[in-house]
Amino acid sequence: MTVLRKNLIDGEWLGEAGSRNINPSNTNDVVGEYASAGPEEAKQAIAAAKAAFPGWSRSGPLARHAVLKKTSDEIMARKDEIGRSLAREEGKTLAEGVGETIRAAQIFDFFAGETLRLSGEMVPSVRPGVGVEMTREGVGVVGIITPWNFPIAIPAWKIAPALAYGNTIVFKPAELVPESAWTIVDILHRAGLPKGVLNLVMGKGSVVGQAMLDSPDVNAISFTGSVGTGKRVAAASVEHMRKFQLEMGGKNPLVVLDDADLAVAVDCAVNGAYFSTGQRCTASSRLIVTEGIHDRFIDAMKERLDKLVIGDALDAKTQIGPVVDQTQLKQDEDYIAIGRQEGAELAFGGERLERETPGFYLRPALFTGATNAMRISREEIFGPVANVIRVKDYDEALTVANDTPFGLTSGICTTSLKHATHFKRNSEAGMVMVNLPTAGVDFHVPFGGRKGSSYGPREQGRYAMEFYTTVKTAYTFAG
């Protein structure tokens, strides 16, 4: 029997079946049916969140700690089941699905702890006898809009700090992954959140997302997704003078220098470019390789790529799952055609694969002979496609790495302390990795980028407080 998941508005599960969720590893498999909210439901959810804000923002650390800790514990206890369900609806492998679920549990645990560590500052005023207090307060109703590629981790890293700092929430997940979103909301709801504090409105971005952007009662929006939608969020937020935070695309470079450990470099490149089917904003889609190691690197990459197991996400042996859906698959194939037309050589993969079940399987593609001016080097493809750009030396590698409209992550593989240090200092990215894949970050430290990749304060770790709180400065003259 197909499950029917409803929206959560003001503490009630509401709505009729409006959309179906299909398993990208097997398009005959329907994961579930989901309510699809319209503008009216979005308005109700925003009104409920607004009404719940005074109570939740004054609830105190213990009430918030209890909900977040309980949520973390349940997610961790159910990690295999939730991770499997995530892999089923999104197409990432079981290991990746369970790993992401564990990460969500860790994030809730981290912010449960943060509720007990809230502090302010007190300083003497320049006027004798007057005291000045600086405290942080919740912002109000926070709209949370998320993409499909991290169906549980991204909602977790927005919802957990929003709740920890006393905000109420209207959460709109991506249409392709409603099951993970519903699961996390269900757990939080049962963990004891008062009604209206967290509202779930599944539905179309152009309808329910847009209704959130257009509402004067949404005080802040945290968005992760494409650059195009991010710009709409920004424009609408300026119109309403609300706080907003954007995490968007990437075209992340991984530099491989002549002195790199070849095995480390290949591990970093294969993981960074192709794991999660390349559908990560932190994916290393530009492999910038110096002349002395170039040919050996390409031979080793082809050898490794040839051994990768591509198949059903739910098969434990699978290392690369399917592409998320038909639209994304077409985009990947279009870019592979564009790369060839531009004169890059398709050195490996790029073809559709048949498996036992009908799904969106694509062999990871590696281009060589690419230049940094080609569209495949400038535009985010968001699939298992990477290009090798050959460069003379470290200086040219750094110039090429920074020559991009994006700036989320970057990486370098080298055994030179001098080059590693110089790269960390001069890379124009928000996150820099040395001898590590560009994707894969810790949950307790800031996450975010520069240039076209991000806008606004960092997410995650203690830095999340910057977005989810507003500072109050209070003066007291006690007589």
Residue 213 within binding range of ligand NAD, rule CB under 6 A:
yes
Residue among 211, 215, 191 at smallest CA distance from 201? 211
DSSP 268-302: HHHHHHHGGGG--TT-EEEEEEEHHHHHHHHHHHH
CA distance 237 to 245: 10
Told to judge if 303 belongs to the known catalytic residues of this protein, a careful annotator would answer no
Q: Which of 89, 281, 333, 466 is catalytic?
A: 281
Told to judge if 247 belongs to the known catalytic residues of this protein, a careful annotator would answer yes
Q: Return the SS3 of 74.
A: helix
Interior angle at CA 250, CA 245 and CA 253, nearest 5: 140
Q: How many helices (H) and strands (E) does the chain have?
A: 15, 21
What number of residues does the chain have? 479
Q: Return the SS3 of 377.
A: helix
Residue 86 within binding range of ligand NAD, rule CB under 6 A:
no
Residue 248 within binding range of ligand NAD, rule CB under 6 A:
yes
Name residue 54's amino acid: P
252-291 residues near ligand NAD, rule: CB under 6 A: 281
Binding segment for ligand NAD (CB under 6 A), chosen from 12-20, 90-98, 246-254, 411-419, is 246-254
Q: Which of 19, 57, 210, 402 binds ligand NAD (CB under 6 A)?
A: 210
Residue 169 within binding range of ligand NAD, rule CB under 6 A:
no
CB nearer to ligand NAD: pick between 98 and 145: 145
Q: Which of 69, 232, 296, 450 binds ligand NAD (CB under 6 A)?
A: 232
- Tell me how far, at minimum, the Cβ of 195 lies from ligand NAD, in Å: 24
Q: Which of 36, 72, 93, 149 binds ligand NAD (CB under 6 A)?
A: 149
Q: What is the DSSP letter of 149?
A: S
CB nearer to ligand NAD: pick between 36 and 85: 36
Residue among 408, 92, 448, 443 at smallest CA distance from 249? 408
Biggest CA pair distance of the chain: 81
Q: What is the DSSP letter of 320?
A: B
Residue 205 within binding range of ligand NAD, rule CB under 6 A:
yes
# binding residues, ligand NAD (CB under 6 A): 28
Q: Which of 93, 219, 224, 409 binds ligand NAD (CB under 6 A)?
A: 224
CB nearer to ligand NAD: pick between 228 and 479: 228
- φ, ψ of residue 401 to 5 degrees: the values are -60, -40
CA distance 223 to 454: 10
Binding segment for ligand NAD (CB under 6 A), chosen from 170-178, 188-196, 359-367, 386-394, is 170-178
CA distance 401 to 383: 20
Residue 145 within binding range of ligand NAD, rule CB under 6 A:
yes
Cβ atoms of residues 282 and 254 within 8 Å: no
Binding segment for ligand NAD (CB under 6 A), chosen from 57-65, 225-233, 302-310, 427-435, is 225-233
Per the listing, tokens 């290991």 go with 95
- State both tokens at 429: 């990215």
- Tell me how far, at minimum, the Cβ of 231 lies from ligand NAD, in Å: 10
Q: Which of 90, 114, 247, 466 is catalytic?
A: 247
Residue 172 within binding range of ligand NAD, rule CB under 6 A:
yes
Q: Which of 53, 171, 275, 382 binds ligand NAD (CB under 6 A)?
A: 382
Binding segment for ligand NAD (CB under 6 A), chosen from 7-15, 140-148, 435-443, 464-472, is 140-148
Q: What is the DSSP letter of 413?
A: E
**Long-range contacts of residues 396-401, Cβ cutoff 8 Å, at least 24 apart:** 397/255, 397/257, 397/288, 397/290, 398/255, 398/422, 398/423, 398/426, 398/427, 400/253, 400/286, 400/288, 400/372, 401/253, 401/255, 401/286, 401/288, 401/427
- Tell me how far, at minimum, the Cβ of 198 lies from ligand NAD, in Å: 17
> Strands, DSSP E only, in 328-478?
345-348, 365-368, 385-391, 409-413, 431-434, 454-455, 469-477
Residue 364 within binding range of ligand NAD, rule CB under 6 A:
no
Residue 360 within binding range of ligand NAD, rule CB under 6 A:
no
Cα–Cα distances (Å) from 418 to 183, 290, 403, 409, 423, in that order, read: 47, 16, 21, 20, 9
Q: Which of 19, 57, 226, 416 binds ligand NAD (CB under 6 A)?
A: 226
Residue 146 within binding range of ligand NAD, rule CB under 6 A:
yes
Residue 349 within binding range of ligand NAD, rule CB under 6 A:
no
CB nearer to ligand NAD: pick between 174 and 265: 174
Binding segment for ligand NAD (CB under 6 A), chosen from 65-73, 87-95, 206-214, 255-263, is 206-214
Gap between the terminal Cα atoms of the chain: 71
Residue 380 within binding range of ligand NAD, rule CB under 6 A:
yes
The pattern of x and - marking residues 436 through 465 that bind ligand NAD according to CB under 6 A reads -----------------x------------
Q: What is the DSSP letter of 128?
A: T
CB nearer to ligand NAD: pick between 148 and 182: 148
CB nearer to ligand NAD: pick between 108 and 382: 382
Residue 170 within binding range of ligand NAD, rule CB under 6 A:
no
Task: Report the interface residues with ligand NAD, using CB under 6 A.
Answer: 145-150, 172, 174-175, 205-206, 209-210, 213, 224-226, 229, 232, 247-250, 281, 380, 382, 408, 453
Return the active site residues: 247, 281
